[in-house]
């Protein structure tokens, strides 16, 4: 009987841990998740998600600065590194969060990019920046309106212009390269 109760407790704990993990994964993968936290917890989730996304863009853009064959892509990558490095510092200061370790998917994307070259590299990098900036813009737009703290709303709102400028640059390069 004790063994059955212990097994039931372990099953409940494992199931609860799995549910928490899938909820947090869904939140970071889909910024428009209805399970997104509210209040100051939402502000912390914003800082963590925004910082992780910004760090990913910096990491991938550093690779583009050294591997792209296109001067325009290298220039965009340099701008993204500079802008997001500054923004990431602001996120860490304002949100009192530390720099996250790169997620496994981000490390895999970086490894994949390092094995590419030429037009394939540029197309993959630009497609990734397009997708990442669209997700970031959604995240920042939502938090510019719904963040609990006014300084978080202000930061999200003022950062939107830079993210939108990056997206326009990415879109322009994609069109010029026939993506």
Distance CA 13, CA 83 (A): 43
Reported pTM = 0.76
Query: Using one digit for the tens of pLDDT, what is the confidence trace for 79-128?
Result: 999 999 999 999 999 999 898 999 999 999 999 999 999 999 999 999 99
Angle at 125 between CA 119 and CA 128, to 5 degrees: 135
Find the Cα–Cα–Cα–Cα dihedral 133, 70, 104, 51, rounded to 10°: -40
Among 99, 105, 104, 66, smallest CA distance to 84 is for 99
Distance CA 175, CA 170 (A): 9
- What domains appear along the chain, each with residue ranges and CATH number? 37-176 (1.20.1260.10)
Among 150, 164, 55, smallest CA distance to 110 is for 55
pLDDT of amino acid 178: 72
More confident site: 16 or 161: 161
Which residues neighbour 129 within 8 Å (Cβ) at sequence distance 6 or greater?
A: 57, 60, 61, 76, 80, 166, 170
Query: Using one digit for the tens of pLDDT, what is the confidence trace for 22-44?
Result: 333 333 333 333 334 445 788 99
Residue 157 has pLDDT above 50, yes or no: yes
More confident site: 134 or 1: 134
The fraction of the chain above a pLDDT of 90, given in percent, is: 73
């Amino acid at each position: 009987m004790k063994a059955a109760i212990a097994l039931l407790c372990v099953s409940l704990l494992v199931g609860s841990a799995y549910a928490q993990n899938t909820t947090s994964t869904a939140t970071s993968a889909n910024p428009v998740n209805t399970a997104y936290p509210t209040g100051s917890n939402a502000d912390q989730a914003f800082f963590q998600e925004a910082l992780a996304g910004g760090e990913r863009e910096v990491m991938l853009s550093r690779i583009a600065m050294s591997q792209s064959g296109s001067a325009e892509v290298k220039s965009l990558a340099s701008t993204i590194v500079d802008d997001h490095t500054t923004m990431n510092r602001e996120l860490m200061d304002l949100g009192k969060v530390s720099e996250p370790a790169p997620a496994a998917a981000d490390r895999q994307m970086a490894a994949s990019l390092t094995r590419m070259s030429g037009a394939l590299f540029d197309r993959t990098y630009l497609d990734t920046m397009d997708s990442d900036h669209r997700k970031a813009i959604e995240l920042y737009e939502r938090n510019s309106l719904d963040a609990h703290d006014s300084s978080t709303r202000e930061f999200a709102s003022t950062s939107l212009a830079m993210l939108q400028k990056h997206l326009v640059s990415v879109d322009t390069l994609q069109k010029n390269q026939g993506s």
